[in-house]
Amino acid sequence: MPLFGPPNIPQLEAKRDTQGLIKALAYKDAAIRIAAAEALAPLKDLLAVEPLAGLLKDGNADVRRASIAALAARAATPAEPRSPRKPARECGPDRSSAAERRARTRPAAWQPIRHRRSGTARKARNSST
C-alpha cells in the first residue's frame, strides 16, 4: 500500500495551488493528469505553461486533449484589451493625413534636386536664400 494516495484535485483547485496541480500532471494515472490539466486552465498561471506543453507528448490521447484545451483557454482571453486603431483620416486634430500635413509645413526653400551619382531625388536647401 502506498504511503500517499492520489492527489486531491478538487482540493488543490479550491486552494488555487498551482504547484500542487503541476505535480499532479506527472502522476501515473491518466484520469488524475486530465483533471489536473482541466483545473489549471482557469488559473492562467505562467508556471503551468511548460508542464502543460510537456503533456502534448503524453501517450494518452485524452491527456493530450486536456492539455491542448488548458493551453487554449490561456490564449482565449488576452491579458489586456487592445484599443482599435483609428483610420489615418481621424488621427489629427484637423483630420488630415500625415502627407498633407508635411506638405503644408515644408519650407518653400526646400526643393527636390537630382544628384549626379545615384540619380535619386533628395531634398537640399536652395542656395538663393
The DSSP H or E segment spanning 128 is none
Report residue 30 as a C-alpha cell.
491518466
- Per-residue pLDDT tens digits for 87-108: 545 555 555 566 676 666 655 5
Query: How far is residue 94's CA from residue 24's CA, in Å, rounded to a whole number?
Result: 60
Query: How far is residue 96's CA from residue 26's CA, in Å, rounded to a whole number?
Result: 60
Query: How far is residue 26's CA from residue 100's CA, in Å, rounded to a whole number?
Result: 62
Query: How far is residue 43's CA from residue 65's CA, in Å, rounded to a whole number?
Result: 18
- Per-residue pLDDT tens digits for 24-66: 999 999 999 999 999 999 987 888 999 999 999 999 999 999 9
Question: Given this structure, which CATH class describes domain 9-76?
Answer: mainly alpha
| Number of Cβ within a 10 Å radius of residue 35 | 23
